[in-house]
Amino acid sequence: MDEFQIKQDEIALKTINLNVVYHNGKQEFFNGNISLKKHCITSLIGASGCGKSTFLRSLNRMNDRIAKVSGKIIYQDVDINAPNINVYAVRKNIGMVFQKPNLFNKSIKENITYALKVRGEKKDLDEIVEKSLKEVALWDEVKDKLNLNANELSGGQQQRLCIARSLATRPDIILMDEPTSALDPLSTKMIETTIKKLALNYTIIIVTHNMEQAKRVSDNTAFIHLGKIIEYNTTRNIFGNPHSQLTKDYIMGNFG
């Protein structure tokens, strides 16, 4: 795998020889080694079924019940893939936004505060709600209807609310699995604008099938093929001067 160099103090998360084998025996990801840069947007691209989402979900231990994940995932000098790690603490620091909005059947406000209350946090909840909604440019749209059931929002608003919910726990890293694939172009543009703003304060790793989106929003891009990271570089180099013929063939549309 071709890879550009990231300074040690700039690494938000890195994997060492990461392998994912599902319980049916199928290996979905092979020897993944990558260093993800702080306060950057990294896109994971590749054909359907190549292992992008499998890799992404491994980064906050969401594959634990369905697969054996071996190798190391280093976050703040700790291997969070070790068996003694508190998975819920990991997910507080490494949040996830899914392809389709997965809201609770509760109010807008309760969607943001629910996890905090479960953890026993009771202070400053109104302030957290406002801050989180402002970060995703949703506050002005919903500030007068925070008690409205979240499922009554539009699709784009629901997805921004999901992002706001992930921000409520003040994570360092946000994982996004095709967050705009089910949205219209206007909502997609709003989400992309939100993602770029969030990168000022968070590290974002996004799976996308949309190569134009990868070019628009990401600083760095990793191309994954058949469960292997083939090439990882700045987005400009991946799309403008790829080193691997496989990468070149994929971005030119020769397969996918």
Q: For residue range 162-220, what is the model confidence (pLDDT) as tens digits?
A: 999 999 999 999 999 999 998 999 999 999 999 999 999 999 999 999 999 999 999 99
Q: Which H helix or E strand runs over 68?
A: strand 67-75
Nearest to 238 by CA among 215, 213, 207, 255: 215
Q: For residue range 52-110, what is the model confidence (pLDDT) as tens digits?
A: 999 999 999 999 999 999 999 999 999 999 999 999 899 999 999 999 999 999 999 99
Cβ-Cβ contacts under 8 Å for 234 (sequence gap 6 or more): 4, 219, 220, 221
For 48-59, what is the HEC assignment? Answer: CCCCHHHHHHHC
- Enter the tokens of residue 66: 């369905």
Domains of the chain: 40-50+86-251 (3.40.50.300)
Packing angle of the helix pair 108-118, 125-135 (nearest 10 deg): 120
